Chains A and B, each alone.
Chain A
Amino acid sequence: MLYREAGDFKTSYADDNQTFPIRFDRWRYYAVLAIAFGVIPFIINDYWVNAVFLPFLIYAIAAIGLNILVGYCGQVSLGTGGFMAVGAYACYKLMTAFPDISIFIHVILAGGVTAGVGILFGLPSLRIKGFYLAVATLAAQFFLVWLFNRVPWFYNYSASGQISAPERSVFGIKVTGPETEAWATYLFCAIFVFLVAWLARNLTRGTVGRKWMAIRDMDIAAEIIGVNPLTAKLSAFAVSSFFIGIAGALFFSVYLGAVEVGEAFGINKSFLVLFMVIIGGLGSIFGSFAGAAFLVLLPVLLKNILVGGLGWPTDLAAHLEFMIVGALIIIFLIAEPHGLAQLWRVAKEKLRLWPFPH
């Protein structure tokens, strides 16, 4: 009814090529932005920001990053945790070495450092593919975690090997450290999410993204039509790692405030982000958000319902949580192997014609 194309005429190429060609979609997008930036910051409290929004936003960035590599370029990676660790430790070293520079710049630079590391570990992708590449990136995961545990320079020789974020600010507003306001940390991460999602969406619509997708669909054919696999694959690794590095930097500095590399950035993190991408939908920005929401928010929601609402024992609830989330993953993937994004796409197709499908 609301969601239809009839009467929505496009009179220029720019109109035709816009990200949200349907008017209702466009308005919905503006509404989400308005709520995210205009409403939530005013009503958010400590619980919502630390338990719900920060993990969701940060994992969404990581999922977008990994989606570029796996979903758009077809290079399977299990090194996400390691790359997030690079972002976190780069951010920590920069924060402590240059305390006067805005944390905003540090986070971007941390992403840049991660991009460099990502290119380095992306080199094997030129020779190996598929599962074998996954194993090569797995090596990156273990090597990086080992490195940050082993070399004291990375954690500034602290006795415990932990890194803790000192207090840093943007335009005089504290965004790291214990004394932050809920809205400040939320907005800081939301801005990064917006920038990353916008950049990713536009990259994947343009030449660069089309090259990635050509490589993904059939690399030999792509090479024949003139796509350079070296630049295409390495640029995918660079952009993907850049985003993942930003996610790692925010994860450490804004969200947790203190991390231990083995616990926070272990192999589990790599799998978690990969599952977000798979459940959300490969090759979809919306899918990255949906996947992150599914795996971050559902456990919190279930916990609140089972323990807070029904008053069940915590261990029973924790076990049930695993079972419910696991069962839902299987159900979703059986119902729609292409993830939540595809479900959403199908729903939109139906809605366009509704209520007269013929």
Chain B
Amino acid sequence: MRKTLATLALGAVMAAAPAMAEITMSALSYRTGPYAANGIPFADGYADYFTLLNERDGGIGGEMINLVECETGYNTEKGVECYESTKGEGVLVYQPLSTGITYQLIPKATADGIPIHSMGYGRTSAKNGAVFPWVFNYPANYWDGASHAITHISEQESGDLNGKKIALVYHNSAYGKEPIRTLEELGKKHGYELLLLPVDHPGQEQKSQWLQVRQQRPDYVIMWGWGVMNQVAIQEAVNIRFPMDKFIGIWWSGSENDVLPAGDGADGYKALTFHNLGMDYPLYDDLKTHVVDKGLAAGAGDQLGTALYNRGMYAAMLAAEAIKTAQEMSGESQITPAQMRDGMENLEITEAKMEALGLPNFGPEFKVSCENHGGDGYGAVAQWDAGAGEWSLITDYYQSDQEVIGPLVEEDSSAYAAEAGIEAGCM
């Protein structure tokens, strides 16, 4: 106790809040720890996009963006500390890039009235905005991803999955367990057998799981991995000579970091995505002139054009568009978290908008509404070309099986509403 009080005085240094004459955004990033390899490119992309807006356009709607970064190390306790230390600064939206921290923040942020955008992660049933008014997970979620993978497999097998065996290698946490329900439901519909292979945090040891793959000989393997687990899994799959084109990762298992260590063996590995890859976009020219050449790039500045950098940039772009929408709706440039929420709920991403931003054909078109905080569930499959060292989309964006996912979202969100005593309804 004495020690605590002694720190009170020193800690008062941090209490000095910055001036509120700007838009404050937060990045609960992780550049350290077992997930840093994936956390760094995302954080860089997120930060660079806002730097670009500040440098090129003078912020959004005339308001400069102040990005407050806080290191979580993918650890929930640090995530809580980060949330508490930044929420007083008027942060407009939280994007924790961790399903565990998202689960943590959903009730807290709802009570504090700050929106959360868990883009392609977090609690899937937050799609139902009537139960989760402050949580958004557009443009796609894990259950969409599960369905995308199954649809893709079904196309490979010319529509017939009866008697096939599909293995799910997953991170044994809330994140990895998310798709199981959906895959089971889809299994009933398509008649395949599901084999579950959990991998414990952090996933450096996967010999037994891949031995099981060898024994059980599944026709396809789907992976829900993150951080070092991805690299190890792909290496193990190469070691047992599992056909790479029958190995499909979720979008978090599809970065350059994951496939490069396995070298040529990883050629043909597939991963889902909900945005486009590479750096062949007009926006990258602007990034180069306004950010990279001025030496303002976040981190080491060596992540440009990687899959996760693009995803971080996409997350920042969606946030910036939501801010613009909120500014238009309220008529003020200085918006509050509540106005931000309205902006997010009325966000509409069209091809014309993306083209104007210098990102033509970068992501699917979608429109958010109160009933649907999760977008329309469009995704695509990308494949790794080890020779060229790049990802390329091998399908168009296609929609997930809404017939199966819709009822699941309804069921899970109403269970949450009952448990937490929430009266479902639009704000």
Contacts and interface: CB of A to CB of B under 8 A. Distances in A.
B31 A300 contact: no
Nearest to A49: B84
A167 B84 CA distance: 20
B174 A160 contact: yes
Nearest to B111: A178
A47 interface: yes
Interface in A331-357: none
A263 B172 CA distance: 10
Interface stretch (A51-59, A100-108, A113-121, A211-219): A51-59
Given A160-B103, A260-B100, A51 B3 contact: no
A52 B103 contact: no
A263 B4 contact: no
A319 interface: yes
Contacts of B10: 301, 304-305
B1 A263 contact: no
A263 B69 contact: no
Given A159-B178, A160-B177, A289-B1, A262 B80 contact: no
B73 A318 contact: yes
- Tell me what chain A mostly uses at the interface: helix, strand, loop, or mixed: helix
A95 B188 CA distance: 35
A256 B104 contact: yes
Contacts of B5: 35
Contact of A314 (B2, B69, B99, B108): B69
Contact of A52 (B11, B13, B123, B420): B11
Interface in A21-49: 32, 35-36, 46-47
A172 interface: no
Contact of A297 (B7, B13, B29, B85): B7
A179 B1 CA distance: 26
A256 B32 contact: no
Contacts of A263: 75-76, 100, 173, 201
B174 A260 contact: yes
A25 B42 CA distance: 53
Given A50-B84, A315-B32, A259 B173 contact: no
Interface string A229-272: 00000000000000000000000000111111011101000000
A313 B103 CA distance: 27
A135 to B, nearest CB: 18
Nearest to B408: A159
Contact of B123 (A160, A178, A290): A160
Interface of B: 1-5, 7, 10-11, 13-14, 16, 29, 31-32, 36, 40, 69-71, 73, 75-77, 80-81, 84-85, 87-88, 99-100, 103-104, 107-108, 110-111, 123, 172-174, 177-178, 180-181, 198, 200-201, 299, 412, 419-421
- Give 10 nearest A-B pairs by CB, closest first: A315-B31, A178-B107, A308-B14, A304-B14, A160-B174, A178-B111, A293-B3, A314-B71, A51-B81, A318-B32
